[in-house]
Each structure stands twice: as structure tokens, then as C-alpha cells.
Amino acid sequence: MKQLKGTLATMLDERKRLRSRSPLQLAIADRFSQLNVEQWRTVTAGQSLFYSTEYQRAFEQFRPANLEARYALISDGDTPLAAVCMQIARVDLTQVGNGKQKSAFQKLGSKVSQRVLVCGNLLVYGLHGVCFAPGADRELVWRAVTEVLYRVRRAEKLAGHTDMVLIKDLDDAAAAESRALEGLSYGSVPTEPNMVLTLDPAWRTHDDYLNSLTSKYRGDIKNRVFKKFNESGATIEAIADVASHAETLQRLYLDVHSNATLRPFTLPSAYWPGLASLGAGNVVIHVARQGDRVLGFIVSLKDGDTAFAYHIGFDREAANTGVPIYLRLLHASLAQAIAFGCRRVSFGRTALEPKARLGCTPEPLYVWARHRHPFLNQLLQPLLRFVENEEPPEFTPFKAAPSDAGAK
């Protein structure tokens, strides 16, 4: 009994410690310009483009209408330790189900709505919510992050309740570092994995990639993708003047986006030239053409050693005729990643099978979630454990390495 009391006291002390104010200093802003930009640069220098000052300023210009940005700097005295990127998303029933066929469920529209506070960036996959300065105590910073989220959520009561808080897209390492969030009533749930292709440093062209595949997979790509695509009279090209193509890109984006089961945001047409101007040569948009008709597009973005292949849009009517637009665009982005000199391509977490056939492997991602109402949060935690995600199929498209072959 004495030992039990000691254990209980230890647990209560730990809970009290976690729920006390952070010893670090917090600066929270509604607009990026309200923060100390030089301190932000100190933290984010040499890290992801999605943390950069340039991206934050651009986001405020081309953000989706239902997303609002919030920002924070976490410091120890005058020493910045972390930058925090947040978004408040207003979601309602018009964003659920097929966007082209209105159901009785959707007709309720904005009458059933929710405000969600997200630590991260809904526009891109991966952890882009917390950027740590080199040498920062990550466990201590994560505690400060939860205080930032608490303060922002409380302040948002003036604009309406923000019931749900999400910290999105943590990999295995970040999930382990932030484990203290369990003591603050956050629940962790795995999402669908990010499909990642590791690029061989020896590859200099797309042909090098093809030559690394077994004959079965190489022949399948050449015949089922490239041959069919070329026979349709379609071509692939990178566009230089994105602004003049913005409305076309938007139409193709909406053609795919409107069929998604869940649409937490809808990008505006200004997003495409805005994103392209951010990255200079590090953002390339490829389009598939059939004469003067644009059939589809994909965005390739270089972010350090990682290339993002995302924001794909295509003409569904043309795709239904048998033109492999989607698959050909994936290969265009893969070729661009090799040209960028990247070490990996992040293809995201949809269409798992065709990406697995490319040679991608799943990279686990997790989300921390918390509801403001204690009772509902207690219900949420066990429900999270029942969330099931699609398992990506396993393929072995690459030739065995010489050492592996010799060992057989």
C-alpha cells in the first residue's frame, strides 16, 4: 500500500508539472510581421522552406479562404528555441462527401461547422508545425508548444469555440520526442503513411531509374504508361509562365479535388503563381498536353534533400478514355527530383498502390489530437485507437544488389 501511494503521488506530481506554465517565454501573433523576424530566421535557417519567412508571408497572400494563420516564437530569455506554425480551419458539411453531388447530409452546409486549431500546415504533408533551433531541449519545447496551443485556443473563444486541437504529421522520432503530450490528455493516432522513394545517388536521369528496375516493372512502365501516353499524342513539359496558366491549373485541380471525400480546404487560383514565385528554380510545374489542351499537372518542389511531388490535377474525362495522365505525371515529378539532386521523393499518402509500384516505401506518420471538453476528450481517446488506415501493398520493383545476388 505504501508503494502504491508513492507511485500515485509521483504520477500526480508529474501531471502537475506537465500542466504548469512553461519556464520558457512565448510570443504569439495573428500575423507573421508582428513577430521578431530575425529571431524566426535564426531558428529556421537551413531548414524546410515551409518554415521560412518567405513562405509565411506568401501563405498570408494565397491561403485558402477557410484557413487563418497563427504564429509563435518560443524563447529562453532572448534566445529563440523554436518557431511554431499554426492554422485555424473552419470546416463544415459542405466539405464532406462528393463535391459534385450534393447529398441531404451536405445540404446542412455551414449550419454544422467546426473550428479546428492545427499545429502544422494542411497544405503539405509532413511535420511543418514546430521548427527547433539546433541544440534545443525538445521535450521542454514540446511542453511550451502545448501552452501556445492552449493560449491560442482560449483567445479564439472571441471568434467562436475552437473545440479540436491537432498536431499533424509526426514521424517516429517526433512522436517519441513529444510523448509527454499523453500526460496533457492528447491522444495519438497513426494516419495513412507518406509514400517515399529513396533516390540512388548514382541516378542522373530517369533512364537510370528505369534501368534499376527488374524487367517486369520496367516493361510495365514503358508499355502501360509511356507508350500509351505517347500514342495518345500527349506530351509533358515544364511551364515557365505559371500566372498565365493559373486558371487552367485551377480547373484541373478542382476536377480532382471535388471528388475527394474530405476537403478541409480549397486552394485559390492565386496559389499556383504564388507558390512558383517562392521557390524560383526549386518549384517546377509540369503539364501534360494534347495539342493546345492541357490534360493535367503536377507540382515538384525541392526542399533540401527532399523533393515533394504533390498538388496533382488532371482532366478526369480524358483519363477515363485510357490516357495514363496520373501515372505519367508521377514519372515527370520523379525525373525532376533526380534533376534537383534530391535524395528522396515524398509522394504523399493517396493512391498507395501505384506509388508502391514506383518503388516507394511507407513512412509512418502520426497525429496528436485533443478535444477541449474533458468528457468528449475521454471519448475521443479510445476512439482514436479504432481508426484504421489503408495498408500500402508491398512490391519489389528494383533489381537485387550484387551483394544480395551473390549471397543467394
Distance between CA atoms of 76 and 23, rounded to whole angstroms?
8
User: Three cell numbers at 287?
Assistant: 503539364
Measure CA 83 to chain center.
Answer: 18
Considering the chain, what is the average pLDDT of its residues?
88
Alpha-helical segments (H) within 115-270: 138-155, 172-177, 206-211, 215-220, 228-231, 242-257
- The phi, psi pair for 213, rounded to 5°, reads -85, 155
Work out the pLDDT band at 397, boundaries 50, 70, 90: very high
Where are the alpha helices (H) located in 81-180, listed in sequence order? 104-107, 138-155, 172-177
- 378 secondary structure, DSSP code: H
Domains 12-191+365-384 and 195-363 in one fold = yes
Helix spans in 221-324 (H): 228-231, 242-257, 271-279, 316-319
pTM of the model: 0.87
For cell 530569455, the residue is 77
Q: Where are the domains of the chain?
A: 12-191+365-384, 195-363
Long-range contact pairs involving 214-217 (C-beta distance under 8 Å, separation at least 24): 214/396, 214/397, 214/398, 214/399, 217/357, 217/395, 217/397
pLDDT band at 10 (very low <50, low <70, confident <90, very high): very low
At the top level of CATH, the class of 195-363 is alpha beta
Regarding the domain delimited by 12-191+365-384, which CATH topology (the fold level of the hierarchy) does it fall under?
Aminopeptidase (3.40.630)
Q: Express each pLDDT in 243-288 by its tens digit.
A: 999 999 999 999 999 888 878 899 999 999 999 998 778 999 999 9
**Confidence at residue 37, expressed as pLDDT on a 0 to 100 scale:** 96
